[in-house]
Amino acid sequence: MFKALALFACVAYANTNADDTTGIFGDAEQWKTGFVTVDKFEDDIFYWMFESRSEPSTDPLVLWLTGGPGCASEVALFYENGPYQFNEDSTLKSNPYSWNQVSNLLYVDQPIGTGFSKGGLHDARSETEVAEDMAQMLRGFVEQNPEFAGRDFYITGESYAGHYVPAISHYLAFTATDVNLNLKGIAIGNGLTDPYEQYPAYAKFSYENGLISKKWDDVMIGGMKACQGLIYESQHQESKKLDVAALEFCQILADSVIGNPLHPKFNVYDIREPCDTPPLCYDFSQSDAFLNREDVQTTLGVTGRKWVECDTLVHTYLLGDWMTNLMPQVAEILDQTQIEVLVYSGDKDWICNWRGGEAWTAATKWSSKQEFNDAEYEKWSVNGTDAGEMRQYGNLHFLRIYEAGHMVPMDQPENALEMVKRFIANDWSLTEEQPSLDIIQ
C-alpha cells in the first residue's frame, strides 16, 4: 500500500525569490515555495524553504513544524525563528537570529488543511496518517530539490509537534526508509508528547509558581490521578471516544488554574504576561493580513488560498489523537538509532510546562533510563550568562531554558539559535569562548 501511495508524491509547482518582482521580501534571502501532492485525492502540502545564510550547499536541512494542532508554520516564520519579522507598518525586516543562520530552513504547513495546505477528501485523524503524509511530502520535496538528497536532516517543532515530531521521525527511521534524507536529530520544544506523565505536572508547576494555593494543589493532585486513569484507559483501549472523554476531564481540571479558558487570568503561554488577545494571547493579525494580500500570494504562488494562523477543523479532526502517547516511539529511536533527541522547554510556559517535559523524559522507557535520570543538571550558558540547565545521557538531552515561554525562539532568540547551533554540531560542551556566529543584520 505504501508503494502505491508513493506514486502520488509529486510537486505541483514551485516559486522562488526570483518571482518577487515587487520587492516585498527584499533580496537578502534565497527561498522557494511549493506544493507536494500526497495522496490519490490530490490533497497538497505547502512548503517554504530558505537557503542557509552560511553554507547552503553543505549545511543541513532543518524542518520546522508548528503545533496546534492546525496552526500554520508561518506563525513561527514571522514571529519566532524565521528570516523575516514585521515592522510596525507590516513591511519586513531581517531577523538576525533566524535559524537559517546555520541551516537550510524548511517550513511546512501540515496536517492537510493547515495554513496554505488544502484538501477536501483526506484529513489526518491520527499520527499514523500525519506521518504517512509527511513522508510523501518529504519524498516529493527531495525530488523537486535534488541538491538535498542524502543531506543531514533535522526535524524540529513545538507544542503539538510533540506528537508530530516523534511520529514522523519514527516513521522515517523504521518504515519510509526510502526518503533520501539523513535523519540526524529531532528537537521538541515545549511539546505535548506523553499526556499521562505531563498532565499531573500542571499541579506541580502551578503551585511552584504561585498560581494556586497549597490546598488547591492537593485537590489537583488527587484529580490528576483520576485524569491519569482515564488517559491510561483511553490509550489501552484505543478508543477515540475515550480519548476525547479523557481530554475533556483532564483539561477541565487543568483549566481550573486559569479560570475561563476564553478569558484566562494570565497568558498560558507565558505566566509573566497577561492574555491581552484570548484565546491565543498573542496578536498575529499582521501575518494574517500580510499572507492574504493578493500581491504576496501571487509572489508565493498561493493565489486564492485563504490563510489562517490556526484551523479549527484540523484541530477538531485530531481531538481523538490528543491523548496518544508518543513516548514509545521516542524510546525506540533512542535505543535503535543514532538519532539525537533534544527536548527543550521555556520555563515560563504553563500550557506545556517544563515540569511536564522533565517528567516524560524521565519516564521514557529506554535502555539508559536509569543513567539519564541519575545525571545531574548542568548549567547551560550563552555569552557568559546562565541561559538554562541541561540533563543528558547518550542521545537524549533535556534542556530547561530560563526566562522563556511557550515560544522559546520569540522570547530568547539568541539563546534559541545557539541551542540549534550546538544541537546540529552535537557538541553541548560549546561555551561562550567558542567563535560566535556571524550575524546578518
In terms of domains, do 88 and 36 share one?
A: yes
Mark whether 161 and 242 lie in a shared domain: no
Q: What 3-state class would DSSP assign to 310?
A: strand
17: CB partners within 8 A, 6+ apart? 25, 27, 29, 30, 31, 32
CB atoms under 10 Å from CB of 152, counted, come to 17
The per-residue pLDDT for 263 is 65
Q: Could you tell me how many helices (H) and strands (E) the chain has, helices first?
A: 16, 13
**Residue of 170, 315, 397, 406 marked active site:** 406
Residues 210 and 265 in one domain: yes
- pLDDT value of residue 124: 74
The DSSP line for 230-243 is HHHHHHHHT-HHHH
Residue where a domain terminates, one of 209, 235, 270: 270
User: Are both 355 and 411 inside the same structural domain?
Assistant: yes
The answer to whether residue 180 sits within a structural domain is: yes
Alpha helices in 184-305 (DSSP H): 195-198, 201-208, 214-237, 240-255, 285-291, 294-300
Q: DSSP states of 313-343 as a string?
A: HHHHHTGGGTT---HHHHHHHHHHS--EEEE
Q: Are 31 and 137 members of one domain?
A: yes
- 173 and 240 together in one domain: no
Q: Are residues 372 and 397 in the same domain?
A: yes
pLDDT confidence of residue 6: 37
Asked, for residue 312, whether it belongs to a domain, the answer is no
Q: Is 54 a catalytic residue?
A: no
- Is residue 435 one of the residues assigned to a domain? no
User: According to the model, what pLDDT value does residue 297 have?
Assistant: 95
Query: Does the residue 295 lie in any domain?
Result: no
**Do both 91 and 125 map to the same domain?**
yes
- Within 10 angstroms of residue 25's Cβ, the number of other Cβ atoms is 17
What is the Cα–Cα distance from 10 to 43, expressed in whole angstroms? 11
Q: State the catalytic residue, choosing from 73, 98, 103, 159.
A: 159
Same domain, 34 and 95: yes
Give yes or no: residues 365 and 381 share one domain. Answer: yes
Identify whether 159 is a catalytic site residue.
yes
Q: What is the pLDDT of residue 151?
A: 98
Q: Could you tell me if residue 220 is inside a domain?
A: yes
- Report the distance separating Cα 140 and Cα 181, nearest Å: 12
* Largest pairwise CA distance in the chain: 62
What is the residue range of 396's domain? 2-194+323-425
User: Can you list the pairs that 133-136 forms with residues at least 24 positions away whose Cβ atoms lie under 8 Å?
Assistant: 133/38, 133/39, 133/45, 134/45, 134/108, 134/110, 134/164, 134/168, 134/171, 135/168, 135/171, 135/172, 135/175, 135/176, 135/179, 136/5, 136/6, 136/8, 136/9, 136/36, 136/38, 136/39
Residue from 311, 349, 397, 411 carrying the catalytic annotation: 349
- Which helix (H) or strand (E) segment is 35 a member of? strand 31-37
DSSP letter, residue 161: H
Active site residue 287: no
What total number of domains does the chain contain?
2
Tell me the C-alpha distance between 240 and 3, whole Å: 28
Measured between alpha carbons, how far is 251 from 199 in angstroms, rounded to an integer? 9
d(CA 378, CA 9): 45
Mean pLDDT in runs of 10 for the chain (441 residues)?
37 65 85 87 89 97 96 97 96 96 97 88 78 94 96 98 98 94 98 96 94 91 93 81 85 83 81 88 93 95 93 87 94 98 98 98 98 97 95 97 98 98 87 45 37
User: What's the pLDDT score for residue 2?
Assistant: 30
- 303 located within any domain: no
Which CATH number characterizes residue 336's domain? Answer: 3.40.50.1820
The per-residue pLDDT for 437 is 47
Looking only at the bridges linking them, the beta strands covering 10-16 and 31-37 are antiparallel
Cell numbers describing residue 151: 543531506
CA distance 345 to 198: 13
The full length of the chain comes to: 441
- Whether residue 157 is found in the same domain as residue 39: yes
Torsion of CA 345, 351, 352, 356, to 10 degrees: 100
Domain boundary among 247, 270, 293: 270
In a domain, 217, yes or no: yes
Q: Choose the final residue of a domain: 237, 254, 270.
A: 270
| Residue 25 and residue 162 in one domain | yes
Q: Is residue 360 part of a domain?
A: yes
Question: What does the pLDDT read at residue 236?
Answer: 84
